[in-house]
Structure 1
């Protein structure tokens, strides 16, 4: 597997475009607002989510494309029931019935995104979902963490030659390698792998963000973060570590009841995340040892050698006569020991920036 993967991943691009926005290593993060099941079963609510999310400055919005029958079975056996935390006691079928985005809404949602001049794409959960999304000219596909082991789905989505973004929650590294290789086998050339912890919500101590740099090193593809923590701390830190994609769940302000609201950000919170992520990336800049524009005015106030006590021609410079002080119009401080003990070539007044012409050579 390792040899096969190393050969195949050379075909993946380090950056590419999704509807005009550049995604990839070194670029400002592509920020995705995940709408998921926060529409609450209402098309009007879903359309409003798009309108409001588009105002936050995100790069794209994402929905999920499945039906309860394409993701699970209508069965109440123990293995089909969530046993703890956020969705405790609910059957998978019941949960996905509430959370799914009806297929008959999709055309309206894509149209609403175009009205707002923002990219909308989706997570397909089976091949029929990919077919529907292809009919709607979906510009990219997201493979959810729980589907990372569905090699057939990955190959089918990658065969469209659209960009693929895949989350790694719960996956072993071998499983991640297999998923990446599957995308390569199907002819995919545009891929981002998102580090993800599938905890809802994710405690900040579980984020393990240094995994990002390890994924980048081992896979050689652009990496990012699918974040389920409760604020923007992890997103900011991931950006500093090189994440080129940030995905976070979005909800309307005051929504505390929709299926994913507990780990989603509202408009104000998401707008703040967008600003902080972009500022964090901007702060990284490049390796630079030159004066920046903002330093130019202060450069003259660095230290240099000044005459701290008036001296007559022929006198010997001592530590009383010369000091390293601000501003920076005199000799460089490195020359202090060279000057001490030398003879003054002329009278020099207190407060004069020292120059070699003041010293007998």
Structure 2
């Protein structure tokens, strides 16, 4: 089964359309609703298609426990308890309605990653236009089915997932009714090293699972996202913040507003540059066709005089015979007097033109 197009809030996503660029807010609102609304405005101003948030509380995503596995070891959040980190990073549920309203007022789509059934219920009550399954939740097939069963577009990240786990999630989503499905390649490292990205997975994933593919990009900068578009990604997701200097749980690997605008323009430029298979001069080259090389008379030639390397040369511009005919011209004689600087034509050369 293959899929050629998806839609989120009426925007078509897929081949033939610019990449859908999503600004991931995550916890970069820093616990301030005003900042969350400003982030939505900044994403709209940067030209992003959508802003994504995350819908959970510390108690719906983990346990308030300090036992083995409940404290992070290594990386950006080394030493922090899961419950403490998620309590800081979560987006309060009573913010959701004003955030959706503000996004509508700014003409940008807002959707979310739910992390349990109660989050889906909240988002359904707000008429959320799509759902995103985070990489860590891809193995939660009941959650995948619950989101798919809403009939809304579904985006799934695949960080850490094996081929079998991706196949299970895709089958679960489709079995529960998902039709508008996009699967994102992802490296779940924060930030992700460039060497870990393996972007050539994108076309393989598209063929292997019969899905449209995109990239959830945790690298620094925009290069990986642009490269992904060149490899067929139709969807790009990137964390963003108002200012890395102001901190925030994800700020270290997030783009600032001017960088987000650059991402949008670069990804769309990369998509536009892909074009289609084309040979020969295109419209943009038409004015330069006359500057190719051709055969010109480089010294005056009298009627009956032989053409030689001393009086015929391949030079710019391109109004004479193509240079490939130079050997056929040398040794033949002129049909008339030809002044210096004249473009050479077959009417000036004795004998028949080749082939």
Provide TM-score, normalisation by structure 2: 0.95
Q: CA deviation at 1:173?
A: 1.0
Aligned residue in 1 for 2:316? 326
Aligned residue in 2 for 1:117? 107
Aligned residue in 2 for 1:3? none
- After TM superposition, the structure 1 = structure 2 runs for residues 2-81 of structure 1, keeping only pairs within 5 Å, are 9-10=1-2, 13-81=3-71
> 2:130 touches 2:153 (CA, 8 Å); kept in 1?
yes
SS in 1 for 2:258: helix
Per-residue CA deviation, residues 177-232 of structure 1 (Å, 9 max, x unaligned), is 11111111112111111110110111121111111122122122111110111111
What is the number of equivalent residue pairs in this alignment? 351
SS in 2 for 1:123: strand
Moved more, 140-149 or 333-342: 333-342
Per-residue CA deviation, residues 126-169 of structure 1 (Å, 9 max, x unaligned), is 12211111111111110000000011111111111111111010
Aligned residue in 1 for 2:223? 233
Aligned residue in 1 for 2:238? 248
- In 2, Cα distance between equivalents of 1:51 and 1:335: 63
> 2:244 touches 2:252 (CA, 8 Å); kept in 1?
no
Q: CA deviation at 1:279?
A: 1.6
- Decide which of 151, 160, 165 is 2:155's aligned counterpart: 165
- In 1, Cα distance between equivalents of 2:48 and 2:217: 15
SS in 2 for 1:223: strand
- Decide which of 74, 77, 84 is 1:84's aligned counterpart: 74
> 1:80 touches 1:91 (CA, 8 Å); kept in 2?
yes
SS in 2 for 1:351: coil
- In 1, Cα distance between equivalents of 2:128 and 2:262: 28
Asked whether 1:132 is paired with 2:127, we answer: no
- Decide which of 286, 290, 297 is 2:287's aligned counterpart: 297
Aligned residue in 2 for 1:336? 326
Aligned residue in 1 for 2:177? 187
- In 1, Cα distance between equivalents of 2:276 and 2:190: 36
- In 2, Cα distance between equivalents of 1:262 and 1:317: 71
> 1:256 touches 1:262 (CA, 8 Å); kept in 2?
no
Aligned residue in 1 for 2:341? 351
Q: CA deviation at 1:20?
A: 2.8
The root-mean-square deviation of aligned C-alpha atoms, in Å, is 1.3
CA 256–202 in structure 1, closer or farther in 2 if over 3 Å, else same: farther
Per-residue CA deviation, residues 27-71 of structure 1 (Å, 9 max, x unaligned), is 211000001111111222211211222111101000001122221
SS in 1 for 2:21: strand
Per-residue CA deviation, residues 102-142 of structure 1 (Å, 9 max, x unaligned), is 11111111001011111000001112211111111111110
Per-residue CA deviation, residues 80-102 of structure 1 (Å, 9 max, x unaligned), is 11112211222111111111111
Gaps of 5+ in 2: none
